[in-house]
Amino acid sequence: MQKNGDEKSPRQKTLIRKLKRQDRDRIEEMVIASGNFNDVEIATALELVDEALAKGEKSGYVFAVLADEKDPASVHGYACYGPVPLTQGTWDLYWIVVDRAAQRKGLGRILLEYVERDVVMREGGMLLIETSSQESYAATVRFYESRGYHLEARVRNFYRAGDDKLVFQKELA
């Protein structure tokens, strides 16, 4: 478990821990409440949770759960990431979600920095993040850019007409 103090909210101390079975319902709530994901995307997020719960890291998915130090069972956010098959040191960040009520407090930054450090510890050197070009993702894009990621690729009309896939990249090592 890693403990962090959030400089924007010094009273709130956080920790990052492994995924637990009891986290599934809370993760589902957060993904739905984000308002950015359709039913298929929500189901996909939960499939990854289920796969990781069943197989652990052998599933290919690593989960980091952001909790309150005073209440380790709490879930304020999570990230799901894993190594990209057939590469040396390239990792994907599949999901990063922070509870809407806890946003704008630096928790996403804490979670992403944890993921980056963990990837480096696992001998990863590059992190890729895919997202949508829709206006509802504008804050997400700004967040990635503010954390040093650059737009590496745009695949036009990838998700549907007018909805491009944006691929952000950062060298970690």
pTM across the whole model: 0.89
Q: Do the Cβ atoms of 166 and 131 come closer than 8 Å?
A: yes
User: Is residue 74 exposed (0-12), middle (13-18) or buried (19+ Cβ within 10 Å)?
Assistant: middle
The series of mean pLDDT values per 10 residues for the chain, 173 residues long, is: 46 86 96 91 96 97 94 92 97 94 87 98 97 93 97 97 97 90
Per DSSP bridges, beta strands 62-68 and 126-132 are unpaired
DSSP 34-86: TS---HHHHHHHHHHHHHHHHHGGGGS-EEEEEEETTBTT--SEEEEEEEPTT
Contact 80, 97 (CB under 8 A): no
Give pLDDT, residue 101: 78
Domains of the chain with bracketed CATH:
2-128 (3.40.630.30)
Beta bridge partners of 122: none
Three-state secondary-structure class, residue 172: coil
